[in-house]
């Protein structure tokens, strides 16, 4: 089976996530975001929250004009990561992530959608390992037939 890559190979345009390329997309997107700026990639790993300050003994969200340069930079990195990820998915996938406002939430939602929970990933790995261990070529089977059979699971 031949891989079909609809987009890619560009430093100015992220790879498009499809129904079947999540693992490839995830790795390429990580490096694409990192190439834009390490802070942008980090936004997918660390939950951004609006800066707060203590006002009259109560914690409150700061107005944007009170943000420090570092707080503004972190917010911008989150916004760039969100925008980049949104541009790298089809409309059907956008529905999954459209209501999230942080890059980490988007990243985690896509990971959960395509990889499942840790226990689901562990079960899938066990199934694949079991299948691989039992994989044998029959005496009357051609190499082409064996390759077709084995590629169904990969």
Q: What is the pLDDT along the chain (154 residues), one digit of tens a residue?
A: 345 655 556 788 888 998 889 999 999 999 999 999 999 999 999 999 999 999 899 999 999 999 999 999 999 999 999 999 999 999 999 999 999 999 999 999 999 998 886 666 666 666 777 777 777 888 888 888 887 777 665 5
Q: In Å, how far are 1, 56, 73, 102, 132 from 82, measured between CA atoms? A: 33, 34, 14, 6, 38
Task: Report pLDDT for 133.
Answer: 76
At residue 95's C-alpha, the angle toward residues 93 and 100, to 5°, is 105
Task: Report pLDDT for 38.
Answer: 97
Give which of 30, 27, 29 is closest to 15, Cα–Cα: 29
Task: Report pLDDT for 129.
Answer: 74
Exposure string over 90-105, b if 16+ CB within 10 A, otherwise e: eeebeeebeebebbbb
Q: Answer yes or no: pTM beyond 0.85.
A: no
């Amino acid at each position: 089976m031949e891989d079909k890559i609809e987009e890619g190979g560009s430093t100015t345009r992220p790879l498009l996530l499809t129904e079947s390329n999540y693992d490839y997309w995830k790795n390429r997107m990580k490096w694409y975001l990192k190439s834009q700026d390490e802070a942008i990639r980090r936004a997918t790993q660390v939950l951004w929250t609006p800066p707060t300050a203590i006002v009259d003994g109560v914690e409150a969200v700061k107005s944007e004009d009170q943000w420090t340069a570092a707080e503004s930079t972190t917010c911008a990195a989150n916004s760039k990561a969100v925008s980049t990820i949104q541009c790298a998915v089809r409309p059907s996938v956008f529905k999954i992530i459209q209501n999230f406002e942080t890059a980490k939430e988007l990243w985690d939602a896509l990971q959960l959608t395509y990889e499942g929970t840790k226990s689901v990933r562990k079960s899938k790995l066990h199934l694949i390992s079991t299948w691989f261990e039992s994989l044998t070529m029959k005496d009357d089977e051609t190499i082409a037939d064996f390759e077709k059979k084995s590629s169904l699971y990969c």
